[in-house]
Chain A
């Protein structure tokens, strides 16, 4: 089955990004496909390569980048939400790309299920 994922909150402040990541990993292990992960609202902050968590904590951003590299997942950051919050191509972590909200709607159309994670 093809899943689309929407992440509405940034890393560390809320559990949403962690829950979404663990859901994606479990879905992939189950043989499903992750069509796209779309980051909206403060969720765009998951894409900042300037993030530097303490060494004994999980690296939320790097974890998404690795998942994208290992499984060819499309990580899309909403352009309007990103520009509002100072996220640009210059500070984008590997595997993420900035695009329009149409990518979220398209993910809803093309996926079998769209699962929302937020506050």
Chain B
């Protein structure tokens, strides 16, 4: 633990779940970063928004359904979840399709938020 330094960490999620491991392993870093008391934001762009789709059933592919973890993030004080509006719309989704409360931002707003970060991690 490094004392006294809180940096702004942003996790940029642009991959759909299950097809590749990136979404799951990104979530593992998010949980660890919360333990370091950093200022953490998660953003979901492009196919990354599918990570938050309600109703994931993974029994048939014999893979762990990790989507409930997004709802548990609040318990780790990770409360800043952002979704890009253009990405949602391009996939026929709206906020009601998502399994957790998010802030929907325009591309421009997201760009400005990204500019403010110290560390931007993408997987």
Contacts and interface: CB of A to CB of B under 8 A. Distances in A.
B71 interface: no
Q: SS class of chain A's interface: helix, strand, loop or mixed?
A: helix
A41 B21 contact: yes
Contacts, number: 52
Interface string B31-66: 011011010000000000000000000000000000
15 contacts: A8-B22, A40-B25, A41-B21, A41-B25, A80-B28, A105-B9, A105-B32, A106-B2, A108-B9, A108-B118, A108-B119, A109-B2, A114-B121, A116-B123, A118-B122
Contacts of B118: 108
B44 to A, nearest CB: 17
A118 B25 CA distance: 13
B91 interface: no
Q: SS class of chain B's interface: helix, strand, loop or mixed?
A: mixed
